[in-house]
Amino acid sequence: MANPSLFPRKDPANYYQVSAVSDRAVLDNIKGDWQTVAMRIGEFEFLEPIPNLKDPHVIAVLRPWIDVGSVGTLTLNRLERHLRAKELGRMAQPGLFYDFTRYRPRSLFNEGRREVTVPNTIIRYAVRDDGRDILFLHLLEPHLYGEDFTNTMLDVLKFLGVKRYSLIGGMYDMVPHTRPLLVSGLGSGGNVEEETRQARVQTSNYEGPTSITYLITQEAMQLGIETRTFVVHLPQYFQVDEDLTGTARLMEIVCSLYDLPERLIEPNLGKEQYEKLQGMVDDASGVASLLGRLEERYDKDQQADGPEPPPLSPNIEEFLKDLDEGFSPPK
């Protein structure tokens, strides 16, 4: 009797589906002139042949929850270009999880032909001769069926034999742009204490609303997969689409962990960007006053034996709350 989980679709691509990890062996026995063969793990779809990965590590970005300033996305894109990453798979039917009135499909022209790209969660991979293979996971936060989304991603991690799952990104905070950007995070397994010390990462004590996708990290730990989280703290009063200083800080960490060339960090791009924005501080007395207080708090926080920094005044607290409503930084 034929395996009911393996069936051809009625299209010329001779496309095949595997609905469980155990069905992969069936594909090895397929004979014939097939143009394309694909594998389905939960709701995730991979094109065959799947590369033979060496104990891969995942570097993941979650949009839009912790990707302010696009720092996580920019970091992954830069790494993918350097390592010439290729696509490995994506959600087969992203509409199961995403509301396309909130994540809009995009229309574009490609060589004179109109195409539509659909928002999705995508995995790319890079096979390295001189280091551990890396998977790049572009997570798009689900609107629906979050538990099923999480379970699918965990099935993917198990199937690919992932040894470490790292989540990187950025958040806005009351920090000055005139000081080195802080990074907070957590981790489990491996040399986590040594790595966080070398990367100058502070232990996160965040409590509050979060994403359902954080269950991926939580459950990965139970599966014996090492985990890391690195979140760079960006100045709330400098809200730009692409924060290049935050990107450089994350690149610094990733390059250190994976022995990648320091030229990928590109710190001068961020320095130039912040220097251009400095004029806003000079012209706006409210921001200048805020910056002085933030610098004072930052310096005291970084002194191990220093006194508790004073709280921000109520008018500055109110100023911060109003930033998202009325602040528009210069282009």
| pLDDT of the chain, 331 residues: tens digit per residue | 333 333 333 333 333 344 333 344 433 443 333 344 578 999 999 988 889 999 999 999 999 989 999 999 999 999 999 999 999 999 999 999 999 999 999 999 988 899 999 999 999 999 998 889 999 999 999 999 999 999 999 999 999 999 999 999 999 999 999 999 999 999 999 999 999 998 899 988 888 889 999 999 999 999 999 999 999 999 998 889 999 999 999 999 999 999 999 999 999 999 989 888 777 676 656 677 788 888 998 998 888 544 444 444 444 445 445 544 443 433 3
CA distance linking residue 157 with residue 220, whole number of Å: 8
Q: Is 248 helix (H, G, I), strand (E, B) or coil?
A: helix
Exposure string of 253-263, with b = 16+ CB inside 10 Å and e = fewer, is: bbbebeebeee
Distance CA 137, CA 211 (A): 16
Residue 51 CB partners (closer than 8 Å, separation 6+): 88, 125, 127
Locate 259 and state its tokens: 């022995």
**Strands 226-235 and 183-185, bridge-based pairing:** antiparallel
- Cα 240 to chain center, whole Å? 18
Quote the CA–CA distance of 132 and 259 in Å, as a whole number: 10
Query: Cβ distance 188 to 226 under 8 Å?
Result: yes
Q: What pLDDT is attached to residue 37?
A: 59
Interatomic CA distance for residues 24 and 60, integer angstroms: 25
DSSP 231: E
Spatial separation of the C-alpha atoms in residues 153 and 158, rounded to whole Å: 9
Amino acid letter at 180? P
3 state SS of 62: strand
Residues of the chain with CATH 3.40.50.10900: 57-267
In 3D space, the residue among 105, 123, 127, 107 whose CA is nearest the CA of residue 115 turns out to be 107
CA atoms of 298 and 315, how far apart (whole Å): 19
The number of residues making up the chain comes to 331
* Residues in CB range of 124: below 8 A, 6 or more apart: 80, 85, 86, 87, 88, 135, 136, 138
Q: Which CATH superfamily does the domain covering 57-267 fall into? A: PAC-like subunit (3.40.50.10900)
The SS3 of residue 91 is: strand
Cα 7 from Cα 20, distance rounded (Å):
13
